Chain A
Amino acid sequence: MRFGLSSKGDKQLPWHASLSAEAAARRLGVTRRDFLRDATGIAAGSALMGASPFVYAASNVKKRKVVVVTFGGGARDQETFAPQGQVNIPHMMKELIPQSSFFTHVTNQGILGHYVATASLATGVYETLNNFSAVPPDHPTIFEYFRKDLARPASDAWVVAPSNGFNHIGGSETRGFGPGFGARVVLPKHLLSAASAGGKTDFNHLLHDNYETPLYAPQLAGGDFELEQLERVLKLSVDDFTAHASTLSSPDELSLYIARRLMHEQSPSLLWITMHDIDVAHSGAFSLYIDAIRRTDRLCAELWSTIQKEPEYAGNTTLLILPDFGRDSDEDSGGNGFQHHRTGDPASRTTWMMALGAGVRQGVIYDSPLQSIDVVPSIGAMMGFNAAQSQGSLIKELL
C-alpha cells in the first residue's frame, strides 16, 4: 500500500483502481440516475433533448439572475442519493429534485482542494494554484466576464465565501480583466469576528475556518472594513447582526443569513455561495459529516425558498447547486473513505449538479458527462456574456 500514504493538503498518491477512471465515473453517474429515478419517478433527459426550455421560457436576458451554490465540501452518494443516504437529504429529494434538471455525471479533472477547485469552477479552467495560498486565480473569473461584457457595477456580483483562503476568489489579475471587474467578496466569519470584538457572546462555533487541515486553526481578522460592509451594504446594525448570529449553529447557516441579506439589500444578478460545513468530515467523525449533510440539505431548500419569495429574484433566477468535487470511496485503499478527497479516484472526482428555476426544465435527469469547468461558459450563455478564456464546453441541456 505504498502509494496510499502520501498526503499534503489534499494531494495523495493512490494505490490502485479496479475500473478505469472513465468507466467508474460513468457507472457512478448511471447509478445516481437510477437512484433518483426510483426515488422520485422523474424522467431521463435524453428523450427530451433538442427542445430547449429557453425557446418557450422567453426569459429576459437583461433581468436574468443566477445563484451558484457549491455544496459544502463534497458528499458521497451513499450518504446522499443512494437509497440508504436519501434520509439525509429529504429537502433535495422531495422538494428540489422534482423541480430541477439534474445532471448525474459531473467530473472534476483538476486538483481536489477546495479553494483551487472553487477557483476552477469560477474560471472555467482547471487552476493549479496552491490550495492553501491566498492568491487570486490565474484566469479571469466568471464575475469579471459578467461585469466587463455587460458593464455591470461591482454591486451586481457577489461571493459569499467560507474561509480565509477565499478572499481572492472574486477576481484574477489577468490583463484586461482583474480586480476592477471582480466580484465583491464577503467573508461572513470576518464580519462576525469584527462585529463581536469585545463582546461577551461566544461565537466560536460559527468561526470554523478550513476543515481541509483541521489541525490548523488560523486567527480570523475583522475590522473597520467589515463593519462598514455590515452597516452600509447589508443594512445591519452590529447589535442586530450579533443577536441573529447567536441563534445560528454553523458557519454555513451564517453564510446563508448573509446571502439572504445581500439578496434583499443589493439584489446582485450573479451570486456565488460556497458552503463548507460538510468538510468537517476531515476530522474523521462520521456523525458530524452526516449532520452537516442534513444541514446543507435544509439550507439549500431555504435558499430556494428565499429566491422564490424575493421580488427581485422570483421567476427570473436560475439556481445551480453542485459540489466542487466528491470524496474518496470506501473501496480505494489509498484513502480512508468519507474522510478525505485525496486519492483522485472516480468517487472523489465525479459529482452532480442540480439546476432549478428560470429556463430550466423541471423533473429531468441528464446522464451526459459534464465537467465542472463547463459551468462558467454555460452561465455566460444564459446571461449574455462570453467566458472567452474558459476551457469548458456549453451545457446544451441548459441552453
Chain B
Amino acid sequence: MLPNAITPASFTAYPPLAHKVAVDHLVLLQRLPIAFLPSLLRELIEYDYSFPAERLSIDSELAYLKSLTPSQLDNLFRSFAQLGLPTSLTASDWVNHPAQFVEQESAHLWSTRQLDAFRLAATQYGQTLSAATPAAPLPLPRLGIAVIGQGATTAAEPLFLNLRQHGTFFTKIDPENGLEFILSAVASRAAAHAAPYAHWYIDGGQPARSTASLTSVAYQELEPLRSRLLRFMDAQIAHPGMGPEELRTRLALLSPSDLGIHKPADPVLERFQLRLFTEGSGTQIFATTFAQWATREALRRAQPLTLLVRYAPRQRQRPMNELLSATDAHVELDPAGSLVDADMGAWYHWLNQQRLPGADRSAFVVWFEAQRQALVVAPSLPRGVESDSAINLKTLLALATDG
C-alpha cells in the first residue's frame, strides 16, 4: 500500500490520541512519500506515550506541513520521493508497524547504497523544518549537571579533557555537602519552574534522595524490570533459529505489560524506562552505559530544563553470557573504569544539551564526586581556563547559573 491509499480505517489500531492526530491530518499524510511517512508514523503511533516536548514537536511539524501548498510539499519531499524502495517493503503493513518498516528501509538503503542520498534528504528536511518552526523561548536557561566517579578516589588520567576548551576547570572545589547542594539547587529550580517532565534526576545506582518535583529514573530502582527483561532475553536466545536481529525486533515490540507492569502509575515514564533497556545497547548490563543513554534519551525526547545525572560504578566486565544470566549474587564493581566511562558520558551530556534550543544560554557542570575537581561551561564563565579558587558546590552552581 502506498500513502495515497490510507484511510481513517488504516489507523484503527492506533491509541486514541495518535488516532485523532492521524485522522485529522489524513489528507496531508496521503501526500507524503513512502520513504518518509513511516518515519513520521513511528513517532505518531507513540503520541499517547510521548513527553510534552515530543507532542509539541509533532504538532508543529504537522501544522507546518499542512500550511504548504501541494507544489511546495512536492518540492520539500522530492529527494525522499526519488529513493527506490522494493515492493516487498511498500506492501508491508507499515501503518501499523512503522518501526519495523524503518528498520527494513534502513537495511535496504545501506545495501543499495542510497544511504548517502537519504542522509542528504534528511539533513535538508531537518534544516527547513527547524527554520520554519522556531522553538519558543525557554522560561529559564537550561542546566545540566553530571556527578561522576562515585567510589573512585583518584583519576588515573586527567579528567574533562574534551570539555576543558569549552569551560572553566576548577581544581580546588570544597567537596563538603557537595551532593546535597546540587540536589537542593535542582529541587529549587523544579519548584520555581514546575512543568511536566521539565526537571530530571537520573541515577546510575540508588538515588541519593527522592524529590517529588523531579522526574526520577534510577538504575537500582529498575532492577525488577531489568531482571525480567534479562530473563526474557535469556529465554529468547535459547529458541531455535534465534538470531541477533530477531531478538532486537522482539525486544522492540515489548510493552510494559509484557514484563508484568499492568497498571503503571506513569505510563509515559514507564514506557520511556522500558525503552532504555530494549533500545539501548549495554544499558542492561552496565550502570554507566544506562546513565549515559538515559541522559541522552531524556534530552532528546523530553528536552528538560534541568537534568542532573549521577553516575554509579558499573559491574566489572565479565563474559556476556554471565552478565546476561544475572545469577551471581556478588557483583564486583569497577570504580576506576566507571570514572572513565562517566567522564566520557559527561562530554556526551553537554554535546546533547547543546543540540537543544537555547544552547547559547545553557549551563553545564561536571563534578568528580567527593573530590576537588569540577568544570563549568556557562556563558558567564571564560573558556579554556583553570581556576584554583577555593569554592564549594553551592557557589559553583551559582556561578554557572548567574546571568
Contacts and interface: CB of A to CB of B under 8 A. Distances in A.
Interface residues of B, number: 72
A14 B119 contact: yes
Interface string A281-325: 011111110110000000000000000000000000000000000
B43 interface: yes
Contacts of A336: 293, 296, 348
A385 B110 CA distance: 31
A15 B122 contact: yes
Given A13-B122, A204-B319, A282-B281, A216 B244 contact: yes
Contacts of A204: 318-319, 321-322
Nearest to B344: A286
Contacts, number: 180
Interface residues of A, number: 58
A257 to B, nearest CB: 18
Contact of B289 (A16, A21, A284, A291): A284
A226 B281 CA distance: 32
Contacts of A21: 116, 119
A132 B244 contact: yes
Interface stretch (B2-10, B261-269, B335-343, B382-390): B335-343
Interface centre among B105, B119, B336 (most CB of A within 10 A): B119
B337 A285 contact: yes
B282 interface: yes
Interface in B91-132: 99, 102-107, 109-113, 115-116, 118-120, 122-123, 126-127
Contacts of B355: 1, 333
A327 interface: no
A12 interface: yes
B251 interface: yes
A345 B247 CA distance: 26
Interface centre among A9, A12, A207 (most CB of B within 10 A): A9
B317 interface: yes
Contacts of B248: 8-9, 213, 215
A14 B122 contact: yes
B300 A1 contact: yes
A208 B322 CA distance: 11
B216 interface: no
A290 B113 CA distance: 31
B26 interface: no
B40 interface: yes
Contacts of B337: 285, 287-288, 291
A333 B356 CA distance: 11
Contacts of A213: 244-245, 247-248
B126 A15 contact: yes
Interface in B311-329: 314, 317-322, 324
Interface string A134-161: 0000000000000000000000000000
A319 B296 CA distance: 41
A330 B107 contact: no
Nearest to A282: B281
A344 B120 CA distance: 12
A335 to B, nearest CB: 10
A126 B110 CA distance: 11
Contacts of B338: 287
B106 A287 contact: no
Given A132-B244, A284-B288, A11 B351 contact: no
A128 B286 contact: no
B362 interface: no
B50 interface: no
Nearest to A337: B348
Interface string B342-373: 01110110011001000000000000000000
23 contacts: A5-B42, A9-B107, A9-B244, A11-B110, A13-B39, A15-B123, A111-B110, A132-B245, A204-B318, A205-B319, A207-B319, A210-B244, A213-B248, A215-B284, A217-B321, A284-B292, A284-B293, A285-B288, A285-B314, A286-B340, A287-B336, A287-B338, A288-B317
Given A13-B39, A110-B113, 8 more contacts: A9-B107, A215-B233, A217-B321, A284-B282, A285-B288, A285-B317, A286-B343, A333-B355
